[in-house]
Amino acid sequence: MSPTRSVSIGPVTLGGKHFVVIAGPCSIESEQQFLETATTVKAAGATLLRGGIYKLRTDPNTFQGLGDDGLRIARMVRKTVGLPIVTEVTDARQIPLLVDAIDVFQVGSRNMYNYELLKELAHTGKPVLLKRAFSATIEEWLLAAEYLEKGGNPNVILCERGIRTFEPALRNTLDLAAVPYVRTLSQLPIIVDPSHGTGRRDLILPMSLAAAAAGADGLLIEVHPHPEQSLSDGYQSIDGPMFATLMTQLEKILAAVDRPLLKNV
Amino acid sequence: MSPTRSVSIGPVTLGGKHFVVIAGPCSIESEQQFLETATTVKAAGATLLRGGIYKLRTDPNTFQGLGDDGLRIARMVRKTVGLPIVTEVTDARQIPLLVDAIDVFQVGSRNMYNYELLKELAHTGKPVLLKRAFSATIEEWLLAAEYLEKGGNPNVILCERGIRTFEPALRNTLDLAAVPYVRTLSQLPIIVDPSHGTGRRDLILPMSLAAAAAGADGLLIEVHPHPEQSLSDGYQSIDGPMFATLMTQLEKILAAVDRPLLKNV
Amino acid sequence: MSPTRSVSIGPVTLGGKHFVVIAGPCSIESEQQFLETATTVKAAGATLLRGGIYKLRTDPNTFQGLGDDGLRIARMVRKTVGLPIVTEVTDARQIPLLVDAIDVFQVGSRNMYNYELLKELAHTGKPVLLKRAFSATIEEWLLAAEYLEKGGNPNVILCERGIRTFEPALRNTLDLAAVPYVRTLSQLPIIVDPSHGTGRRDLILPMSLAAAAAGADGLLIEVHPHPEQSLSDGYQSIDGPMFATLMTQLEKILAAVDRPLLKNV
Amino acid sequence: MSPTRSVSIGPVTLGGKHFVVIAGPCSIESEQQFLETATTVKAAGATLLRGGIYKLRTDPNTFQGLGDDGLRIARMVRKTVGLPIVTEVTDARQIPLLVDAIDVFQVGSRNMYNYELLKELAHTGKPVLLKRAFSATIEEWLLAAEYLEKGGNPNVILCERGIRTFEPALRNTLDLAAVPYVRTLSQLPIIVDPSHGTGRRDLILPMSLAAAAAGADGLLIEVHPHPEQSLSDGYQSIDGPMFATLMTQLEKILAAVDRPLLKNV
């Protein structure tokens, strides 16, 4: 097993001794929604904030993100709450807009094969959270990471978020064995997204604990103050109290595997 | 979430407060091999012993189990070591031979759809460990369990052992989210087989911990005194010292989820 | 490409110069239903008759076949109409009941891995139609055929009937490329089942033509006089007039690939 | 079944009465290679020419296309040989470079989910050949087409090129049933790519015939004068004589389904 190479994001180190939790809404929907969520997840122990600005949706008739107004809200909340921000980039032309406003570029599952985008992100040198395509073999995922690394950007964080299988009951099949398996091949830090990985609110807690037990370096969790009112993916978002309960139980598992949770940066 | 209905196997209760570990070789290969493994796994905290007598192999040119001589060894070791035995049944005609010699009938992944076999096992009333077919939806798996229950046998233990997906790196994709998801639909106890679920010795420890964290009621683990000499599935078997390490770490995770390990029955 | 080894079934040769169509209902439901279907499909050019007697159903609460009464009807219709009969065997204990009443043992998709059943069928020497499990690799399918051949029965007919994939729109994904690919590895005749392969009545005609164009040796098609009243799989059965239309168009494709349809045996 | 809406590409109408064959190399490698292939495929009856300029490769260490020099060669060959050209676009910034040099934008399998690219292609109004992602459900594929149509571009051609399944023997599983199934949902023309769909030179002929029999509106075939020297995908390219044989047999199948081949435009 290779030692992990850590990635620095402001005061946060991902891939080191500490376990890191990234939380926030699927999409930034309003100032109030993003601020409230940010405050809540920070209080419960999250140290990075997620929030979508430009969304990539399968159905052209659904909510596509706030766009530029979301960018303004992101800047404001980042400053007010003091957490670094992770946001998805869906097109190379968004890079100059995002580069100073956010801290980690997220490459979503459907863009993992978008090598032109990866080549551009390589030039920024900024941390990239590279989700596994739901159809990608582990080998293809690591080759996508190589597009970033060969292009000059070593700050890559892998994120397992479930793969597409024949099982219709859940949105995806979360491939947790990918976590220890990737360790045998790569030094990149690897985190898990149990929200997309299961697509069901009630499975996020047990799969978060399982990811920590399997050796992940962190989690990416969708939290919304009022999931039932969410404009996207509400069925897989948890609310503030559920997130606080998750963090309490997570710390017990982390203690059992001798891996402290990073808190209060 | 439904309360789990427990299954009694001699002094062992599976599906109750305690977490249960079943361990042993893929196949019974000799008196010495099975006795040594049984003694080792019992010492480390396993409370049920697994060992194949009649094997179902994809390739007709490979080892097919000891058959009747395996049955004799199973009886002897069961008595000597004092652990109940779990063994696979691959044909209805084996039932009368096995019924008094072993304690749990295992239905393997490729026989989950063998409803004629399930109907016969229903009549025995004896505990049945029903593995999920590697191609089965969760719905089909629970319908297979219904063949046993409707036939008069409520003593069913579900076992997740990985599903077949496009990912070629590992033998199967272990679907751990099935554990908490099945809890929302069924009262049957559910355990996890990380040996078949990953097909790699070095992934058994992390995936065992993950299964416990996800809320499984137990584990089914392949242990062989000398995996490299094993006649079947050696690449996914761990040896005695690896198993002892696993049990030590498992107990820490179980403490974190407030679920004691069943030991020393 | 290996030359195909043909299999003789009474007056029918499958795997030779001629293309063979097997047709009939999913299950034998009554004397009248089976006799009417048999007469209809014979008139349209089928030379083998299918009909289920002992059914293997996923849901224990659904119709499981007529059993022994179906056997009586099968004998009667076989004699009256004069077509050899293909029927599924789901348990080794049915072999003595079926062996004189029918002409081809069909091993269904869920029994392809039932090696104990295959070993028994090997001893009969009677033709076996071996469906590919919906989860089987082509390699596993050919190894299953080897259980029959090594056991002394060279009369094996392979049948592609669709595999399980992530696509939810259709019941299965019909893997037609398996037809020419198997030819590069095996001398066994290979036919296609577009009824299970698609699960939709309106796709049976185009996929039958495609199978013939891809080089299959025959087809297995579900025909029911009144599909909407069928006790099983009615949504994927075609009626008599649709079958007659299919046969007319099929002959044109067969002429284009220089492969005559076997008729009027 | 909906009537198909045809797409005009210079003198070629795709989706009308005639069946259209698009052929050419995976990548443009040199003037000589592209000119020779173009001349060969035109002589055998192809009416559209394919050839990659900007390649999207999984492995960053492999050949990535000629880029701008490929563009120059494409212009020259298009003029000399007189066939319209289909080429893949992998990034929105290539659109202005390509728009006057080529006739059909191809969106590759890994870019089907790249909705930002689709939105830009919608504005061009130029025909788009939209390949199904190897992981896409048919529903997702049609929603991707909707991004083009809603954006103002009705000139969409669907292309089935195989999906990713558990079967390791072939590169993809060609889902031919998607052809007649899409007809029940959409008026868009649909063609088949047996080269990527199978990944094996010897399966291209039978699967081309099968696609025509299943009702496709055309084919997209990789042809290379010397496949063994090809810089990409040579194992799935056929040479000129194999292509000529294919066209001869294809015409017989097309006659059987009463669909003439478009030739000599």
* pLDDT tens column, D39-66: 999 999 999 999 999 877 777 777 777 8
Number of Cβ pairs < 8 A linking chain A and chain B = 125
Residue in D closest to A116 by C-alpha: D91
A167:B203 CB<8 A: no
Residue in C closest to B136 by C-alpha: C135
D touches which chains (3+ CB pairs under 8 A)?
A: A, B, C
Q: Checking DSSP bridges between strand D20-24 and strand D218-222, what pairing results, if any?
A: parallel
D180:C170 CB<8 A: no
How far apart are alpha carbons C138 and D170 in whole angstroms? 10
> What residues does D85 pair with on adjacent strands?
D49
pLDDT at D1 over 60: no
Q: Checking DSSP bridges between strand B128-131 and strand B104-107, what pairing results, if any?
A: parallel
Tokens matching residue B46: 């396993």
The residues near B69 (Cβ < 8 Å, ≥ 6 apart) are none
How far apart are alpha carbons C210 and B28 in whole angstroms? 49
Q: Considering only A63-72, D26-35, D59-68, which range has the smallest mean pLDDT?
A: D59-68
Name the residue among C60, C133, C146 with its Cβ closest to that of B147. C60
C150:B91 CB<8 A: no
pLDDT given at position A2: 56
Distance from CA of B203 to the nearest CA of A (A): 6
How far apart are alpha carbons B163 and C164 in whole angstroms? 12
pLDDT at D2 over 70: no
Q: Considering only A192-196, A206-210, B88-92, which range has the smallest mean pLDDT?
A: B88-92
pLDDT given at position C229: 87
How far apart are alpha carbons D49 and D104 in whole angstroms? 10
pLDDT given at position D65: 77
C207:D176 CB<8 A: yes
Which residues of chain B are within 8 Å of residue D134 when distances are taken between CB atoms?
A: none
At position A103, the amino acid (one-letter code) is: D
Instruction: Locate all alpha helices (DSSP H) within A83-203, ordered by sequence.
Output: 95-98, 115-124, 138-150, 178-183, 194-198
At position D118, the amino acid (one-letter code) is: L
pLDDT given at position B232: 80
C163:D168 CB<8 A: no
pLDDT at D204 over 60: yes
pLDDT given at position A197: 96
Which residues of chain B are within 8 Å of residue C58 when distances are taken between CB atoms?
A: 113, 140, 143
Which residues of chain A are within 8 Å of residue C164 when distances are taken between CB atoms?
A: 166
- The list of chain C residues with pLDDT below 70 reads 1-2, 56-57
DSSP state of A100: T
Which residues of chain B are within 8 Å of residue D165 when distances are taken between CB atoms?
A: 166
Q: Which of B43, B53, B49 is nearest to B10 (CA)?
A: B49
Q: Which of B194, B125, B120, B115 is nearest to B162 (CA)?
A: B194
Residue in C closest to A165 by C-alpha: C166
C113:B116 CB<8 A: no
Tokens matching residue B146: 């219904």
Interface test with B, best of A2, A207, A249 (most B CBs within 10 A): A207
**Residue B259 dihedral angles phi and psi, to the nearest 5°:** -135, 100
Nearest 5°: CA angle at B229, between B228 and B234? 55
Q: Which of A22, A55, A53 is nearest to A37 (CA)?
A: A22
Average confidence score pLDDT of chain A:
94
C91:B92 CB<8 A: yes
CA B86 to chain centre: 7
D90:A147 CB<8 A: no
Distance from CA of B117 to the nearest CA of C (A): 8
Q: In chain D, which residues touch B (CB < 8 A)?
A: 164-166, 168
Which residues of chain B are within 8 Å of residue C57 when distances are taken between CB atoms?
A: 115
Instruction: Locate all alpha helices (DSSP H) within chain D, ordered by sequence.
Output: 31-44, 68-81, 95-98, 115-124, 138-150, 178-183, 194-198, 204-214, 240-256
C touches which chains (3+ CB pairs under 8 A)?
A: A, B, D
Residue in D closest to C250 by C-alpha: D256
Tens-digit pLDDT profile for residues A83-113: 999 999 999 989 999 999 999 999 999 999 9
The 3-class secondary structure across chain C, one letter per residue, is CCCCCCEEECCEEECCCCEEEEEECCECCCHHHHHHHHHHHHHHCCCEEECECCCCCCCCCCCCCCCHHHHHHHHHHHHHHCCCEEEECCCHHHHHHHCCCCCEEEECHHHCCCHHHHHHHHHHCCCEEEECCCCCCHHHHHHHHHHHHHCCCCCEEEEECCECCCCCCCCCECCCCHHHHHHCCCCCCEEECHHHHHCCHHHHHHHHHHHHHHCCCEEEEEECCCHHHCCCCHHHCECHHHHHHHHHHHHHHHHHCCCCECCCC
Distance from CA of D134 to the nearest CA of B (A): 11
Tens-digit pLDDT profile for residues D119-178: 999 999 999 999 999 999 999 999 999 999 999 999 999 999 999 999 999 999 999 999
Number of Cβ pairs < 8 A linking chain A and chain C = 6
Q: Checking DSSP bridges between strand D7-9 and strand D12-14, what pairing results, if any?
A: antiparallel
Residue in C closest to B90 by C-alpha: C116
SS3 B170: coil
% of chain D at pLDDT higher than 90 = 86
Interface test with A, best of B166, B183, B201, B203 (most A CBs within 10 A): B203
CA-based torsion, D8, D13, D14, D20: positive or negative: negative
B180:A257 CB<8 A: no
> Residue B113 — very low, low, confident or very high, per pLDDT cuts 50/70/90?
very high
Residue A232 or residue C72, greater confidence: C72
Tens-digit pLDDT profile for residues A16-52: 999 999 999 999 999 999 999 999 999 999 999 999 9
Query: For residues B128 and B145, is the Cβ–Cβ distance under 8 A?
Result: no
The residues near B264 (Cβ < 8 Å, ≥ 6 apart) are B45, B47
Tens-digit pLDDT profile for residues B236-250: 999 999 999 999 999
Interface test with C, best of A134, A166, A171, A175 (most C CBs within 10 A): A166
Phi-psi label, residue B82: left if phi above 0, alpha if psi -120 to 50, beta otherwise? left
Q: Checking DSSP bridges between strand C20-24 and strand C48-50, what pairing results, if any?
A: parallel
How far apart are alpha carbons A185 and A138 in whole angstroms? 10
The helix (run of H) or strand (run of E) holding residue A48 is strand A48-50
Average confidence score pLDDT of chain D:
94
Residue in A closest to B210 by C-alpha: A210
Q: In chain B, which residues touch A (CB < 8 A)?
A: 135, 137-139, 163, 165-170, 173-177, 179-181, 184, 197-198, 200, 202-203, 206-207, 209-215, 249, 252-253, 255-257
Which residues of chain A are within 8 Å of residue B245 when distances are taken between CB atoms?
A: none
Distance from CA of B138 to the nearest CA of D (A): 18
Which residues of chain A are within 8 Å of residue C166 when distances are taken between CB atoms?
A: 164-166
D253:C213 CB<8 A: yes
Length of chain D: 265
pLDDT given at position A65: 77
A163:B173 CB<8 A: yes
